[in-house]
Amino acid sequence: MAIVIGAGVGIVCHCPEVKVAGLVLILIWSSARSYYFIFYVLEKYVDPRLKYAGIIDLIKNIRK
């Protein structure tokens, strides 16, 4: 998530327009929603016992 926010700030600094800032905010919001959705589906529908700290933790558990 920090990467998305950092990239968004960089884009807005490079092209400081209201339209661009609005599109970046939509991008950040949708990224956060998709990240939440991934873990919601995993917890509710795949295996409720599994708890993940993040994407890296998820990938480590998949590789086992």
The residue extents of the domains of the chain are 2-63
Whether 14 shows a pLDDT value over 70: the answer reads yes
Per-residue pLDDT band at 49 (split at 50, 70, 90): confident
What pLDDT sits at residue 28?
85
Helix (H) or strand (E) segment spanning residue 2: helix 2-14
Site of tokens 């339209």:
19
Mean pLDDT of 29-44: 84
Mean pLDDT of 27-55: 80
- CA 44 to mean position of chain CA atoms: 19
Structure tokens at 18: 């209201």
Per-residue pLDDT band at 1 (split at 50, 70, 90): low
Cα first-last separation, the chain: 25
What pLDDT sits at residue 58?
75
